[in-house]
């Protein structure tokens, strides 16, 4: 099975994204006269996971993100088990937003929820509604930010009844300005990967198709005895504390950071610089990825090119800083490890243990 085969075809979307990015760049001048002229866009953030506006003593940060289709798995599991799982997918949605924000060193101040339903009847299930609210609140606590409002439209004829679109946005801050993760990536830098809790919120469309092929569906057991459905719904790790503690408390110079979501490990070459990203150590393979690869079947190229494969976040630092990053992660309950390093060469990601190479042009995000 392939990701494009599920109807999530980046080849169809990417031209739109590029057209939008070009138009968006033309708006940069609109804020130069605002409030006496102290704001300007931070142009290098265009094409990154978070948009920055520069001021004299800080950067403001803005992220817009969403959960994808993970709530459909929760809906199915709710029917099968009586547990809504909406607390867990709320955390996934918040994590998608704030984990993007911290890639440039910005810390979230406020996260807003956008919950679009197909019919207002969706709200009549108080159990599910309460789980969603509690999960969003707890995720804001984990992300060390406030829950700053939101929007709950009823979109009859647009959102399929009984489902929801769960997304949101965040505003954030980099202060002092030295906390900006601005690179440059350097030859010899270590690539420190940080474990994921599982699939997080990327690749769910493919995972749902696999469920449809299994005789026991989401209740199929993984090698560790847990069900496929409950494992898919493990809440996404929040990496805000990791970045804040590395930057603000330890003063570690992070050269670049990657939230490993859509495009999987291809995201490791998100920076504009033309390096080779050489991976020689893989994270512990989680049972969920063995299962997905076996039952798709999904080959290694497709899997590492679309899933996080057990590594949800990556930090590029000097070799000398790796032990401290790993220590900070451990203090937060996260396992980090040196996965590889930066080499001179064509822009590509090389995963040596799997004999995989992804050329630069396979990641069209800017």
Element (H or E) spanning 37, and its range? Answer: none
Residue 6 sits in the site that holds a copy of itself (CB under 8 A): yes
Instruction: Please identify, among the stretches 155-163, 217-225, 276-284, 334-342, the one whose residues bind a copy of itself according to the rule CB under 8 A.
Output: 155-163
Min. distance of Cβ 285 from a copy of itself in angstroms? 27
Interface residue with a copy of itself among 92, 93, 102, 107 (CB under 8 A) is: 107
Report the half-sphere exposure of 269 (CA within 13 A, side-chain side): 26
Instruction: State which residue, 34 or 323, has the beta carbon closest to a copy of itself.
Output: 34
Rule CB under 8 A: which of 188-217 touch a copy of itself? 205, 208
What are the strands of the beta sheet with 275-279, ordered from one edge? 256-259, 311-317, 190-195, 336-344, 275-279, 348-351, 356-359
Residues between 223 and 262 that touch a copy of itself (CB under 8 A)? 248
Q: Is 296 exposed, middle or buried (0-12, 13-18, 19+ CB in 10 A)?
A: middle
- Note every long-range contact of 18-23, with CB atoms under 8 Å and residues 24 or more positions apart, other chains counting: 18/364, 18/366, 21/46, 21/47, 21/366
Q: Using CB under 8 A, which residues numbered 12 to 41 contact a copy of itself?
A: 12-13, 15-17, 19-20, 23-24, 26-28, 30-31, 34-36, 39, 41
Measured between alpha carbons, how far is residue 341 from residues 32, 150, 185, 190, 336 in Å? 40, 41, 10, 4, 14
Among the listed residues 1, 2, 80, 116, the single contact to a copy of itself using CB under 8 A: 116
The answer to whether 221 contacts a copy of itself (rule: CB under 8 A) is no
- Under rule CB under 8 A, how many of the chain's residues touch a copy of itself? 90
Greatest distance between any 2 Cα atoms in the chain? 65
Structure tokens at 209: 């198709």
* 20, 164, 199, 264 from 89: Cα distances, Å: 29, 12, 12, 20
Q: Which is nearer to a copy of itself, 1 or 53 (CB)?
A: 53
Q: How far apart are CA 214 and CA 75, in angstroms?
A: 17
CB-wise, 165 or 325, nearer to a copy of itself? 165
Among 5, 160, 323, 345, binds a copy of itself (CB under 8 A): 160
Other C-beta atoms lying within 10 Å of the C-beta of residue 72: 19
For residue 89, state whether it binds a copy of itself (rule: CB under 8 A). Answer: no
Q: Are 212 and 296 in contact (CB under 8 A)?
A: no
Q: Which residue number, 125 or 343, has a Cβ lying nearer to a copy of itself? A: 125
Among 50-58, 228-236, 276-284, 350-358, the segment contacting a copy of itself (CB under 8 A): 50-58
Residue from 1, 44, 80, 150 binding a copy of itself (CB under 8 A): 150
- To the nearest whole angstrom, how small is the minimum distance from the Cβ of residue 108 to a copy of itself? 9
Nearer to a copy of itself, 164 or 328 (CB): 164
The burial class, CB within 10 Å (0-12 / 13-18 / 19+), for 57 is exposed
**Coil, strand or helix: which one is 336?**
strand
Query: Least distance from C-beta 190 to a copy of itself, angstroms?
Result: 28
One DSSP character per residue, 192-206 reads: EEEE-SSSTTSSHHH
Residues 117-146 that bind a copy of itself (CB under 8 A): 119-121, 123-124, 129-130, 133-134, 136-137, 140-141, 144-146
The binder of a copy of itself chosen from 77, 93, 104, 165 (CB under 8 A): 165
């Amino acid at each position: 099975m392939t990701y494009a085969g599920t109807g999530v075809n980046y080849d169809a979307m990417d031209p739109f994204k590029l057209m939008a990015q070009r138009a968006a760049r033309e708006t940069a001048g609109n804020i130069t006269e605002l409030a006496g002229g102290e704001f300007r866009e931070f142009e290098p953030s265009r094409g990154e996971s978070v948009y920055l506006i520069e001021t004299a003593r800080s950067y403001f940060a803005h992220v817009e993100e969403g959960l994808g289709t993970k709530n459909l798995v929760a809906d199915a599991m709710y029917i099968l088990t009586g547990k809504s799982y909406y607390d867990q997918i709320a955390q996934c949605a918040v994590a998608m937003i704030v984990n993007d924000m911290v890639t440039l060193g910005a810390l979230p101040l406020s996260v807003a929820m956008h919950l679009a339903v197909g019919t207002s009847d969706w709200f009549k299930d108080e159990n599910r509604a309460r789980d969603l609210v509690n999960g969003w609140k707890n995720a804001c606590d984990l992300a060390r930010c406030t829950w700053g409002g939101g929007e709950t439209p009823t979109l009859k004829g647009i959102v399929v009844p009984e489902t929801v679109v769960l997304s949101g946005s965040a505003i954030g801050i980099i202060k002092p300005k030295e906390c900006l993760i601005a690179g440059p990536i350097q030859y010899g830098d270590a690539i420190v990967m940080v474990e994921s809790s599982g699939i997080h919120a990327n690749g769910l469309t493919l995972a749902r198709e696999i469920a449809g092929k299994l005789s026991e569906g989401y209740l199929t057991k993984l090698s560790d005895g847990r069900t496929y459905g409950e494992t898919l719904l493990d809440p996404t790790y929040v990496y805000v504390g990791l970045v804040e503690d590395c930057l603000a408390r330890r003063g570690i110079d992070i050269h670049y950071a990657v939230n490993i979501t859509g495009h999987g490990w291809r995201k490791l070459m998100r920076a504009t610089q033309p390096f080779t990203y050489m991976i020689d150590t893989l994270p512990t393979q989680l049972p969920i990825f063995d299962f997905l690869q076996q039952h798709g079947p999904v080959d290694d190229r497709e899997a590492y090119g679309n899933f996080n494969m057990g590594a949800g976040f990556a930090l590029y630092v000097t070799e000398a800083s790796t032990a401290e990053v790993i220590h900070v992660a451990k203090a937060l309950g996260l396992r980090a490890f040196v996965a590889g390093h930066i080499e001179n060469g064509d822009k590509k990601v090389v995963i040596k243990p799997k004999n995989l190479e992804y050329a630069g042009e396979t990641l069209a995000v800017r």
